[in-house]
Amino acid sequence: MTANSLMAPLARADFRLDPARLEHLTRTIQADIDNGRIPGAVMLVSHRDEVVYEKALGMQNAAAGVPMSIDSIFRIYSMTKPIVSVAVMMLVEEGRLLISQPVSAFLPELGQPRVGVASADENGEPVLNTVPAQREMTVHDLLRHTSGLTYGIFGESLVKSAYGDAGVERKDVTNAEMVRRLATVPLAYQPGTIWEYSRSTDVLGALVERISGMDLEAFLQQRILGPLGMNDSGFWVPENQQYRLAEAFDTDPQTGVAVKLINVRRKPDFLSGGGGMVSTVRDYLRFVRMLAGHGTLDGVRILSRKTVETMTSDHLGDLPGARATLDFLPGPGYGFGLGFAVRIAAGDAIVPGSLGDYNWSGLAGTYFWIDPQEELAAIFLMQAPEQRSHYRQLFRNLVYAAL
């Protein structure tokens, strides 16, 4: 055997997930559950469109003594964002908007924006001034988080404080009212310059409502959730299904931080396109398989192949400063598409993967990714916000270790 033959690539048929190594994944997560780090988790791995691993471990509700189930319902927080981004692109495919259009063409409240600039007054006290935006935010900016918007609840700045003062972060308002309040505060950055995790996808939810004439819940149910058979997904859990709702520990055992999750036991006033939905692992797999299937699942077409290709390509390449902040959540080796972090480098990233793989996650500890090269998709669901970064990496490392 020659040296070259030793380095020859394996045939595709040789790439399988090792059951013994998947069992190691089970043992590792179970050990952390037994040690009281997290209450429980549901995990699923699909390879070549076949579920090869599915586990429900630990407790769905530790305080009530309810064990975890494959059918447990989770608050998926920002894993709502890809679903709403798909909804927007459906409207694009219908010719009802262009992503190059200014957001104010549909939500005129957000026209003529100003950008916040922090400075100090004569006494050295911080003061927020504003300057005109060099251009308006576009729908494209909302989809790729370069709108200049921010979140008022993560980190500190004068603009973020203004969000709180204006009631932007309140949960007892509609999408339309959220937009009206957002229009009263300045942007954090000039549109099209910086990637900033933000209310952008909440604004997309309001945009879907304005264009369609339907509330966001009804639109998603009619156009995505219903057609895909995602029967346990939505913005709230009906009373007769609340026994399946996964809960967090009251206090995180490692950090001592009190854990408070969104109330999904009634229909909310605020249908948050950026983080308000619930789902199950099998429901979200239906959405994942639609994406992996180039926009189609079981004969139901949600998007065209080229639209999915566009969404899962990097859209930050021509913005050299977009990844300049310390809060660039996609991380090293990743760019951002239209609703997803997208891998753009074989190296740099802190986790294994392939060029073109794409992912997103949720505040309470949910995470998914799709690796088209390996025909691999995986979903991890838990309700433990303080532990989310650790388990995203751990789960991904151990899944790829089985390949």
Q: Is 37 helix (H, G, I), strand (E, B) or coil?
A: coil
The candidate with the shortest Cα–Cα distance to 43, out of 379, 283, 362, 371, is: 379
Do 34 and 133 fall within a single domain? no
CA distances from 134 to 106, 117, 188, 376 (A): 20, 14, 13, 42
Do 189 and 168 fall within a single domain? yes
Do 236 and 267 fall within a single domain? yes
The candidate with the shortest Cα–Cα distance to 184, out of 152, 140, 144, is: 152
Query: Number of folded domains in the chain?
Result: 2
What range defines the domain where residue 164 resides? 88-212
Do 16 and 161 fall within a single domain? no
Residue 201: its pLDDT value, please?
A: 98
Residue 11: its pLDDT value, please?
A: 47
Do 44 and 163 fall within a single domain? no
pTM: 0.94
Out of 158, 190, 212, pick the residue that ends a domain: 212
Do 42 and 78 fall within a single domain? yes
Out of 212, 244, 277, pick the residue that ends a domain: 212
Do 234 and 335 fall within a single domain? yes
Low-confidence ranges of the chain (pLDDT < 50): 1-8, 10-11
Residue 6: its pLDDT value, please?
A: 45
Out of 175, 196, 212, pick the residue that ends a domain: 212
Do 27 and 69 fall within a single domain? yes
Concatenated DSSP letters of 228-258? HT-TT-BSS--GGGGGGB----SB-TTT--B
Structure tokens at 204: 């997309």
Quote the crossing angle between the two packed helices 80-93 and 200-212, to the nearest 10°: 40
